[in-house]
Amino acid sequence: ERKTSELNKEKKLTDNLLYQMLPKSVADQLKSNKTVGAESFDNVTIYFSDIVGFTTISAESTPMQIVELLNMLYSTFDARIDTYDVYKIETIGDAYMVASGLPERNGDKHAEEIATMSIDLLTAVKQVKVPIPIEHNCLQMRIGIHTGPCVAGVVGIKMPRYCLFGDTVNTASRMESNGLPLKIHLSKDTRDMLVLTGKYNIISRGEINIKGKGTMETYWLEGRLD
């Protein structure tokens, strides 16, 4: 009986871990011993952000300070994104990746969810009390957003991860890397979806050359109109 109780305890821990690592609908399938195949999504919105000058900050800080900084930042972000219909895909170093419209489709709401979340996170990052002395006394975050089709699937067995694939991911990443500090950089596809809602203040950045994409007209999301 004691052994059964311990086994149940272990199983519960494993299940909890699975639900923390994967979207609920995907974890449910894995728990039921179902094979989780890759799935195509016609339209999702993907968010990338990173900290400008993070390499310099890292070089001038101790590893413990960097861990403390990222933990503080991501704890703030994780608490904020819970209020939106989005899913955090991953964090790699100072990069943060979030998507909306998958694994649960939400019609045309994905661009709006990510846009409002981005405005929220930009406000949050300005309020994060940085534990180390840095230029501007505030983390300079760059945000990039793109909307389009992608494929999602679970990769790996020991440490399964929910990963996104396709050109939409690359373009969202390019929007971020070609952005400016404390600005939200939008592709035309995302901008077109947001304009339909009539809820956002968006201005054109003009045409810029994006590596691997050529010339693209891009936009700045300045805030909400309400």
Q: Which CATH number fits domain 37-224: 3.20.10.10, 3.40.50.10860, 3.30.70.1230, 1.20.120.160?
A: 3.30.70.1230
Strands 95-100 and 87-92: antiparallel
pLDDT score of 85: 93
Q: What does the angle CA 50 – CA 23 – CA 107 come to, to the nearest 5 degrees? A: 85
Q: Which of 92, 94, 97 is nearest to 128 (CA)?
A: 94
pLDDT score of 137: 67
Mean residue pLDDT of the chain comes to 87
Percent of the chain with pLDDT over 90: 50
- Asked whether 97 and 45 are in contact (CB, 8 A), the reply is no
Q: What is the pLDDT of residues 14-47, one digit of tens each?
A: 666 666 667 677 777 767 666 677 889 999 999 9
Which of 44-48, 78-82, 101-105 reaches the highest mean pLDDT?
A: 44-48
pLDDT at 187 over 70: yes
Contacts of 170 (CB under 8 A, 6+ apart): 212
Q: What is the pLDDT of residues 136-159, one digit of tens each?
A: 667 889 999 999 999 998 887 777
pLDDT at 8 over 90: no
pLDDT score of 94: 86
- Asked whether 162 and 23 are in contact (CB, 8 A), the reply is yes
pLDDT score of 14: 66
pLDDT at 91 over 80: yes
The domain spans of the chain are 1-35, 37-224
- Stretch 105-134: mean pLDDT: 89
Look up the pTM and report it: 0.88
Which of 83-97, 150-164, 182-196 reaches the highest mean pLDDT?
A: 182-196
- Reading the block at residue 80, the tokens are 């904020």
The residue with greater pLDDT, 7 or 216, is 216
CA atoms within 13 A on the CB side of 57: 26
pLDDT score of 145: 98
pLDDT at 1 over 80: no
User: One-letter amino acid identity for 110?
Assistant: H
DSSP 131: S
